[in-house]
Each structure stands twice: as structure tokens, then as C-alpha cells.
Structure 1
Amino acid sequence: MITILTTGGTIEGLEYDKIDKAPEKAPISIEDHLSRIDIAPEYDIKEVFSKDSRFVNRRDRDLLLREIEFAENDKIIITHGTLTMVETALFLGKLNLDKTIVLTGAFVLGTDPKTDAFENLSFALTKVSSVEKGVYIAMHQTLFPWNNVQKNMQENRFENIKK
């Protein structure tokens, strides 16, 4: 069984009002993406919060940590906005939790026909059951360990820090 914790972001098709930064209602859910997978493993989903990741703060990460600690499953997927996904992975990775945690998200809105949401979520589902315990980021068919990943803002992709 896999626990999926959602935090909002592009993967759920959320567009944010630039004036007051309040999210609109998510037009697509993680459950919608998962329904497209032919043979999905057993999972449960819990929304932890729904925010643009630019505004994810220490309090939000502490809330996420509590959900991870209380989860009965030791395999966790976190859907997260890409802008601060690395910061959340670093926060969790330094805690040396006895679980396998994979963060994933999307660069293209989850409602867009060309979204990468389904591909990234499918990849995360495959990897969470096949890697050793630790914290990872799964994006575009690449799995990055929490302590060797950065977001290249110029090329809008994740990459290893160490060459």
C-alpha cells in the first residue's frame, strides 16, 4: 500500500491569483490522474494542504512531516509544486526517516492535454516500491536522491548537483 500526500501545485491544475495568491478550486485531482493508470498499486490519498509551492513554509513542511510520521505505510508519494520541491526534499531527507518518500509534480498544468503530470505520477508510483528507503524526487523518468538534486530554473528541469 502506498500513501499519497497532496499539497497542491501545477500537477492539480491549480492556477493562482497573482493579486492575493489564493488558490482557486483544483480543477483536476490526483485521483483523476491515477484513474488513467491501467494497473495501479493500492493507495490511499490525503490532502495535506493546497498551495502554490512558492508559499510553502516551515509550518507546512512540519505538517507534512506529521502526516508522514503517522502514515501506516512506509511508501509515501508527495505531490508538490516544482518551485520549492527541492527545499521540501532537503527538509525531509535530513531527518533520516525510516520510509521511502518520493516527491513528484508537473511543469505543465495538470489540466493541459500536454501535461507531464500523468507521466511523473506513474514514474513515482513505479519507483516508490523499487528503491531503498530515503527521500527522492521523481521527474521526467529520472529519480534524484534528496542530497543530489537542484532545479535548473533557466532550463526548467531537475538535474544532479554532482557531475
Structure 2
Amino acid sequence: MCDQKERILLVQTGGTIDKDYPKTNLGYAFEITEAAVRRILPRARVGVGYDIKTICQKDSQDIEDVDREKLAIACLETHSKRILVTHGTDTMLETAAYLSTRVVDKFVVLTGAFLPETFKSTDADFNVGFAMGTLQALTKHGIFIAMNGQITLWSECRRNKDTDMFEKV
């Protein structure tokens, strides 16, 4: 269980969760802005300390191994034993697989959203809240996926192509 004095590191990589309407005139595409957790966690009244770090602000389809390595280094260098990574859903499992080869003695949970946090009907608040809660309760080190109300070890998780949901294999 998470010690009350232990701080959680929240890491932004981008993805739909952080997307917002463009700030430029006549823009059509979304842009990735500040970490959505900066807005979500105060609303959720989270009772544990946390720090936020941005690794990149990319759509997950644009994340490369160089970004994954920066993420792994951030996980390895932090004093925090519990880390929440917000990530796009398209390549979340690939990033989890990469981290599993580098980060072995920490609790790492990846989560994201199917709709941007700025949307009223988003799943971002639920997913981040669920991920924060389960991250604190984990007793086994590893890389986990927290999506659709489930926490799953990354290697036992898949994304169902028919339902678009993450599920245990």
C-alpha cells in the first residue's frame, strides 16, 4: 500500500486525454496541451501528494522508442515508487512492453481516455481516478494498464478490436 508521505509521479506523454481544440484561428485538428491531470486531480480532491512531469505531448501513434526511453529514464530516476503515465490508447500496450524491459522495481500504471478531458462526456476523469486509486493499492511491482474500470498486468491485457475496449487476455 502507498505510504501517505510517498508522492506519486504523474507523467504526461500526450494522447487523446490531453487533446484540446486548437488555439489558432480556423484550426481543424486537435492539439495536445497541458497535462489533463492538472485539471482532473484538483476536481477529484486527491488526498495523496503528487508531482507532474511532461515527457512529450504527442499522439500515441507518433510516439517512438526515443520517447519511450525518456519515459523509462524518468521512471528510473524518480524517487517515487508509484508512477502514473497518461498515454494515448493506440500504442499504450507497446509502451508498456517497452517499460517492462527497463523498469522492474516500481509500480507503473498507464491510463488514457477515448475522448479528450475537455469533453463533457469524457472517460478521462474516471480513468485517472481509477488509476490513482489502484496505483496506491498495488502490492506487486510491474507495469499495469488501467482502462475501462479494470487494472491488468500489461502482458495479460489486449485491446479488443471489435469493442475497442481493453480487457484481460
Length-normalised TM-score, structure 2:
0.85
* Alpha-carbon distance between aligned partners in 1 of 2:130 and 2:149, rounded to the nearest angstrom: 6
What per-residue deviation string (whole Å, max 9, x for no partner) do you get for residues 69-120 of structure 1?
1111010000000000011111112335100000000011111101000000
Residue 14 of structure 1 and its aligned partner are, at CA, apart by: 4.2
Which residue of the partner structure matches residue 146 of structure 1?
A: 154
Alignment of 1:1-163 (within 5 A): 1-14=7-20, 24-26=31-33, 29-95=36-102, 97-131=104-138, 132-161=140-169
Given that residues 23 and 50 in structure 1 are in contact (C-alpha distance below 8 angstroms), is that contact kept between their aligned partners in structure 2? Answer: no
Unmatched runs of 5 consecutive residues or more in structure 2: 1-6, 23-28
Give the counterpart letter for 1:160 in structure 2: K
Give the counterpart letter for 2:160 in structure 1: N
Rate the CA distance shift 1:150–1:118 in 2: closer, same or farther, 3 A: same
Rate the CA distance shift 1:52–1:140 in 2: closer, same or farther, 3 A: same
Residue 53 of structure 1 and its aligned partner are, at CA, apart by: 0.1
Unmatched runs of 5 consecutive residues or more in structure 1: 17-21
Rate the CA distance shift 1:39–1:60 in 2: closer, same or farther, 3 A: closer
RMSD: 1.9
* Alpha-carbon distance between aligned partners in 1 of 2:79 and 2:47, rounded to the nearest angstrom: 19
Given that residues 10 and 109 in structure 1 are in contact (C-alpha distance below 8 angstroms), is that contact kept between their aligned partners in structure 2? Answer: yes
Given that residues 130 and 149 in structure 2 are in contact (C-alpha distance below 8 angstroms), is that contact kept between their aligned partners in structure 1? Answer: yes
* Alpha-carbon distance between aligned partners in 1 of 2:107 and 2:20, rounded to the nearest angstrom: 27
Describe the SS at the equivalent of 1:35: helix
What per-residue deviation string (whole Å, max 9, x for no partner) do you get for residues 37-70 of structure 1?
1233110000110000001111110110111111
* Alpha-carbon distance between aligned partners in 2 of 1:25 and 1:10, rounded to the nearest angstrom: 8
